[in-house]
Amino acid sequence: GENVEQHPSTLSVQEGDSAVIKCTYSDSASNYFPWYKQELGKGPQLIIDIRSNVGEKKDQRIAVTLNKTAKHFSLHITETQPEDSAVYFCAASMVGNYGGSQGNLIFGKGTKLSVKP
């Protein structure tokens, strides 16, 4: 089955700096890679996702890159702000072309990001 490794487990940056979190996956059939942000006491919130037919996707200060050959994907946060402080989870699954989903989401172990003002 799928296995997702996530690094680093903790990351501390100064406000305004960039943060990068990296994940690798094992199952080459996986084609959907979401990122979740979990604030203290709350459920995970989907912040961005990427599918295997694209190599990069951006949404304001957040971007995700995917390297299918190497089976790794990364989350990039630019101009970090204190409110970016949270635990970030990557995940992988296989989604059917017709819009359904066969695979369950397999999550990485999470990265605790701290942005210091």
Partner 1 sequence: SAVISQKPSRDICQRGTSLTIQCQVDSQVTMMFWYRQQPGQSLTLIATANQGSEATYESGFVIDKFPISRPNLTFSTLTVSNMSPEDSSIYLCSARAQGATGELFFGEGSRLTVL
Contact residues for partner 1, defined by CB under 8 A: 32, 34, 36, 41-46, 49, 51, 89, 93, 95, 99-101, 104-105, 107-110
Is 34 or 64 the residue whose CB approaches partner 1 more closely? Answer: 34
Q: Kindly tell me which of 32 and 78 has the beta carbon lying closer to partner 1.
A: 32
Minimum Å gap between C-beta 89 and partner 1 is: 6
User: Buried b / exposed e across 45-65, counting CB within 10 Å, b at 16+?
Assistant: eebbebebeeeeeeeeebbbb
Least distance (Å) from partner 1 to the CB of residue 39? 10
| Closest to partner 1 by CB, 15 or 56 | 56
Which of these, 8, 12, 38, 9, lies nearest to 116 by C-alpha position? Answer: 12
The rounded distance, in Å, linking the Cα atoms of 40 and 70 is 33
